[in-house]
Amino acid sequence: MISSIASKMSAAEVEFIAEKELVEIEPNFTYSKIYLIQGEFGPFEAGMPTIVPMWLAVNFKQRRRARILPPDWMNVEDLQMKKQEEMESKFFTKMPCPHYIEVAQLLLKYAQEDIPKADEVKTLIKDIWDLRVAKLRSSIDTLIKSESTHAKLNHLTLMEINSVRPVLTNAMDQLHILRTNLHHQESASSQDV
């Protein structure tokens, strides 16, 4: 069943939520704590890693005020294992980050030079995304063919749900209309006899 929150979000809104994920930076400046709606961050000391929201890390990176340290899961070895795990499982596997695709895209766009083997990381993230979306489409196909009205899929991310939302909701609406019409026709036929 699609989460009611995810069913109303655009890709940009999902990315906005992902930008609140915390990442580690290595600032090249010194400053006391900063107080934001999301919480307090810092103190910032040149060369000392600290944790900030993704949007702030990107802002610092764009202003050349910090280097972004990629998350632990964002390395070639871990991603190769995740890809293999996803290929071997018929179910969705738990991702290392609920916003893995958005975080990866942001870091590869704004901090590619901070990511070791960035091209390989990018390819592996895309491979994992493609595997999961293909698995999701296959699940939707099975759902529609089974004539079920709901399904439960664990370990999907908001962006994955969002990628199939328009097709799935439209298909389920059309199936509902067809089933309702068929039910009315059967009711009318049984009353005629």
pLDDT tens digits, 146-182 = 777 667 779 999 999 888 776 666 666 666 676 777 6
- Could you tell me what percent of the chain has a pLDDT over 90? 67
User: Residue 4 above 50 pLDDT?
Assistant: no
Phi and psi (nearest 5°) for 166? -60, -45
SS3 assignment for 50-110: EEEEHHHHHHHHHCCCEEEECCCCCCHHHHHHHHHHHHHCCCCCCCCCCCHHHHHHHHHHH
Full-model pTM:
0.82
pLDDT of residue 174: 65
Which CATH fold topology does 6-182 show? Methane Monooxygenase Hydroxylase; Chain G, domain 1 (1.20.58)
